[in-house]
Amino acid sequence: MNFTARQIAGLLGGEIEGNPDLTVDKLSKIEEGVPGSISFLANPLYTPYLYTTMASLVILKKDFVLTKPASATLIRVESPENAFAKLLELYNQVKLNKTGISKQAGIEETAQLGTNIYAGAFSYIGDNAVIGNNVKIYPQVYIGDNVTIGDNTTLFAGAKVYSDCKIGRNCIIHAGSVIGSDGFRFALQNDIKKVPQIGNVVLEDDVEIGANCAIDRATLGSTILRKGVKFDNLIHIAHNVEVGENTYIAANCVIAGSTKVGKNCLFSGQVGLVGHLTIADNTTFAAQSGISKSITKSGEAFMGSPGFEVSKYRKAYIHFRNLSSLVERVDKLEKKG
């Protein structure tokens, strides 16, 4: 899709230096610019590329002073980074604005579909599923029986939503993620038996799930991700877990069954929480923290495995580093004794 410099300047509230009728149809990094692309300059370290880039259009700060002529047409704005982010958002909306139902999609007669739906090839929508308006269902997505999906939600290729789960509005589920797989629960007395998992998963509005995540259905009731929760890739959430509003969880984290995580928490990569814990609001976990006890005080940070409060961990780490020398001193004292 082509845009003129004049159209882009109007969208960004910028001022043009150069050809207002110049057209671009792609985005690029300034150091990798090609003809017909638009780029931006925000970091001063990349200033030399302004004079060598092949990009046709460059967004830069309003008060930036040129030291020599630039071949690209320029658009001057208050914040090049914010302006380019706005363009990326627009570009993404255009790129992902798919509509229509593929002839190769399987949709059961009892399913209810909203308006402006996209359903790609080999996607499937089960009995009594309710799909909202402007929902994008990419190829090979599976939506089970009795699933509800809210308006403006996108499910990328290969995502799976098992029966009875509920997905809110403006959610994003990336490729390969599974919503509503069975919780890992077995009765271990005498004859080992799998415990049926008859609950569901509820994703409230504005939730984003990264690629290849697994969110298990509840044994009874619901596994719940509250409004605004954001997941990176490769995250496992066990049965009956509840994750509070606006909590962000980075890759490779695991939360065991029935743990309740508060609002506005931040998980770095590879954090593990055991089951049946309660985590206070605004808690932060450093990478690879292992948490085995509930956290009741809001706003604290934890690190280590087993994890403990970060200021105490840093003090203890001084002793960890000196452990070898301390052992040598003890050995010498014992020999003298």
CATH at residue 246: 2.160.10.10
| Residue 160 included in any domain | yes
- Identify whether 324 is part of a domain: no
Residue 26 in any domain: the answer is: yes
Question: If we measure between CA atoms, which residue out of 196, 193, 231 comes closest to residue 215?
Answer: 231
Pairwise CA distance, residues 309 & 319, whole Å: 16
Tens-binned pLDDT, residue by residue, of the chain (337 aa): 789 999 999 999 999 999 999 999 999 999 999 999 999 999 999 999 999 999 999 999 999 999 999 999 999 999 999 999 998 888 888 888 888 999 999 999 999 999 999 999 999 999 999 999 999 999 999 999 999 999 999 999 999 999 999 999 999 999 999 999 999 988 877 778 888 999 999 999 999 999 999 999 999 999 999 999 999 999 999 999 999 999 999 999 999 999 999 999 999 999 999 999 999 999 999 999 999 999 999 999 999 999 989 888 888 877 777 788 888 888 888 887 6
Give strand pairing partners of 242: 224, 260
CB atoms within 10 A of CB 324: 9
Q: Do 123 and 56 share a domain, yes or no?
A: no
Are residues 113 and 82 part of one domain?
Answer: no
Does 337 fall in a domain? Answer: no
Residues whose CB is less than 8 angstroms from the CB of residue 202 and which lie 6 or more positions away in sequence, other chains included: 165, 166, 222, 223, 224, 225
Residue 131's pLDDT is what? 98
Pair 19, 57 in one domain: yes
Co-location of 27 and 106 in the same domain: no
Question: Are 89 and 202 within one domain?
Answer: no
217 domain-assigned = yes
Among 69, 95, 121, give the residue marking a domain's end.
95
* CA dist., res. 279 & res. 5, Å (int): 50
Q: pTM value?
A: 0.85
Cβ distance 179 to 159 under 8 Å? yes
pLDDT for res 165: 98
> Three-state SS for 10?
helix
Last residue of a domain, one of 71, 95, 119: 95
User: Looking at residue 212, what DSSP letter applies?
Assistant: T
Q: Specify the long-range contacts of residues 284-287, CB closer than 8 Å, at least 24 apart.
A: 286/310, 287/250
C-beta neighbour count of 173 within 10 angstroms: 28
Residue 270 lies in a domain: yes
* Residues 200, 164 share a domain: yes
Q: Do both 64 and 139 map to the same domain?
A: no
**326 within a domain of the structure (yes/no):** no
Domain count of the fold of the chain? 2
- The verdict on whether 319 is a catalytic residue reads no
Rounded CA gap, 129 and 136, in Å?
15
Q: What sign does the dihedral 5-10-11-15 (CA atoms) show?
A: positive
For residues 119 and 205, state if they share a domain: yes
Q: Are residues 47 and 110 in the same domain?
A: no
| Helix locations, the chain, DSSP H | 5-12, 47-50, 80-95, 310-321, 323-336
- Domain shared by 12 and 53, yes or no: yes
Whether 12 and 82 map to the same domain: the answer is yes
Dihedral sign from CA coordinates of 299, 302, 307, 313 = negative
For residue 34, give its domain range.
3-95
Q: What b-and-e string marks burial along 135-171, b requiring 16 or more CB atoms within 10 Å of the CB? A: bbbbebbbbbebbbbbbbbbbbbbbbbbbbbbbbbbb
Question: Of 321, 286, 322, 323, which Cα lies nearest the Cα of 307?
Answer: 286
Please state, in angstroms and rounded to a whole number, the distance separating the CA atoms of residues 82 and 30. 16
Domain CATH for 52: 3.40.1390.10
Same domain, 73 and 161: no
Among the candidates 65, 95, 125, a domain finishes at: 95
Residue in 174, 236, 239, 319 annotated catalytic: 239
In this structure, is residue 218 part of a structural domain?
yes
